[in-house]
Amino acid sequence: MKLLLISNSTNFGEPYLAWCQTMVDLFCRENAISVNSNILFFPFAGIKIGGEAYPESYNVYEKRVQNVFTKWGYNNVHSVHHCDNKAELAIEKIEKADCILVGGGNTFHLAAEMHTFGLIDAVKKRVIEGIPYIGWSAGSNLACPTICTTNDMPVVEPKSFKGLNLIPFQINPHYLDPSPEIDRMIKHGGETRQDRLNEYLAVNQEMTVVGLREASALWVTGNRMTLRGGKKAVILRYGQDEKEIEPGDNVSLLLS
């Protein structure tokens, strides 16, 4: 498989997808995605984009991604939502795609749409066959066995929490380090991100979670996986100390 699983689309104060442009472009070129390759975009996590709410937000989301990819030299990015929600037409588009692109937003809404229209198996089949998969935020969550380590609010109820199961571990995008000083300063009385992940591990003790900080990504080619970007990531396992991994580290063992 060929996967690029990105934590976030935008760093504060930067243009959309700017921080990861070089990485995405390199990934596409290394995997023979060219100017006219058929890149199929999944906008289902975009509930509210550019002032427009679902379902009109899908058109806005598609245009936003098209504008960026066109500047990078990829002229054939189209969204699956134009199939008028007819599953058979969407699956036909998936079969003809050269690359799968899954945007961020609300992971529960993304999963709900994917399961409602029966697209999970079709996408997984194509990615296992070898077409590249690029996801950011919710799109990275979807590549996991489940979406249970998303940070999002369950604004809809999916038929299943199951993801594409392209990797055997969970990702927590936008991972934030615990900060007791800040928590005390703002008098936060609820659970932190770390508390929530510890709860997940307590009831899923066999699973591994990779906390992807902002401006980082996992790059998978076959059985090899490396951490890319400018930030360390953290490996979380039940009953074990956290393990930091450095940008450029080979973390292929997590695919076992």
| Active-site residue (options: 174, 179, 249, 252) | 174
Strand partners, 212: 233
167 membership: H or E segment, kind and range: none
Distance (Å, rounded) from C-alpha 207 to C-alpha 144?
11
Distance (Å, rounded) from C-alpha 170 to C-alpha 147?
8
| Active-site residue (options: 9, 57, 81, 152) | 152
The CB density around residue 212, as the number of other CB atoms within 10 Å, is 26
Non-local CB neighbours of 100 within 8 Å, separated by 6+ positions: 40, 42, 94, 123, 126, 127, 131, 132, 133, 134
Q: Which burial class, exposed, middle or buried, applies to 231 when counting CB atoms under 10 A from its CB (0-12, 13-18, 19+)? A: middle
Distance (Å, rounded) from C-alpha 188 to C-alpha 180?
9
For this structure, is 174 an active site residue?
Answer: yes
Distance (Å, rounded) from C-alpha 30 to C-alpha 22?
12
For this structure, is 34 an active site residue?
Answer: no
For this structure, is 160 an active site residue?
Answer: no
| Active-site residue (options: 9, 37, 137, 216) | 137
216 membership: H or E segment, kind and range: strand 216-221
Active site residue ranges: 137, 152, 174
